[in-house]
Amino acid sequence: MHAVVVYESMYGNTHRIAEAIGAGLETAFDVRVVSVTQAMPEVIADADLVVVGGPTHVHGMSRASTRKAAVQAADKPVGGLQVEPDALDPGLREWFGSLGDYPVRAAAFDTRMHGPATLTGRAARGVTRLLRQHGFNVVAEPESFLVTKQDRLEPQEEDRARDWAAKLAAGIARS
């Protein structure tokens, strides 16, 4: 079986979570982890599972304006943040706009600030909604992985992402 993990990332946190998810899925799948800018329709066309995630910006999925603000925030000397090479390129919202229907199993994840989702928002909810609108069969509740106020992954989040994906893979392998 073949799985594709599609991610959007600004500072590398979501990229690291996507890689950890890919590692967890390897228990049952041949896995390809790709940035949203590389996720052409042919990349997901033969997938048995597509896992999609991105950072939470202003309570939801990123937009061109929030990606620009994230890059500008990284330019401040205090934060020490490194911006992903494709941070200003179109993100998940635009990617979904280019997709047709895919009757494939799928799951969603995001990275967001540590705190109640009602205060921080959750991009994975919007990702899940768009997956369903494009015919994907969503097989798991959306999952959030947490970052600090300094935009660094919380300790153990990569391990938690690997475990979440391994459980997801095991559930699909049993079905």
The answer to whether residue 174 scores a pLDDT higher than 90 is no
In angstroms, the CA 173 to CA 157 distance is 24
pLDDT in tens, 135-158: 999 999 999 999 998 889 999 999
In angstroms, the CA 166 to CA 28 distance is 8
The answer to whether residue 74 scores a pLDDT higher than 80 is yes
In angstroms, the CA 96 to CA 126 distance is 11
Dihedral sign, CA of 130, 8, 30, 144?
negative
Task: List C-alpha distances in Å: 131 to 26, 70, 105, 140, 162.
Answer: 22, 25, 10, 12, 22
In angstroms, the CA 158 to CA 35 distance is 17
Beta strands in 15-115 (DSSP E): 30-35, 49-55, 105-113
What does the pLDDT average to over 161-167? 98
The answer to whether residue 76 scores a pLDDT higher than 90 is no
Confidence band, pLDDT 50/70/90 cuts, at residue 113 = very high
Alpha helix ranges (H) inside 26-175:
41-44, 64-74, 92-97, 117-120, 123-133, 157-174
The answer to whether residue 130 scores a pLDDT higher than 70 is yes
pLDDT in tens, 14-46: 999 999 999 999 999 999 999 999 999 999 989
Q: 3-class SS at 13?
A: helix
According to the model, what pLDDT value does residue 64 have? 86
According to the model, what pLDDT value does residue 75 have? 80
Confidence band, pLDDT 50/70/90 cuts, at residue 170 = very high
The answer to whether residue 110 scores a pLDDT higher than 90 is yes
According to the model, what pLDDT value does residue 79 have? 66
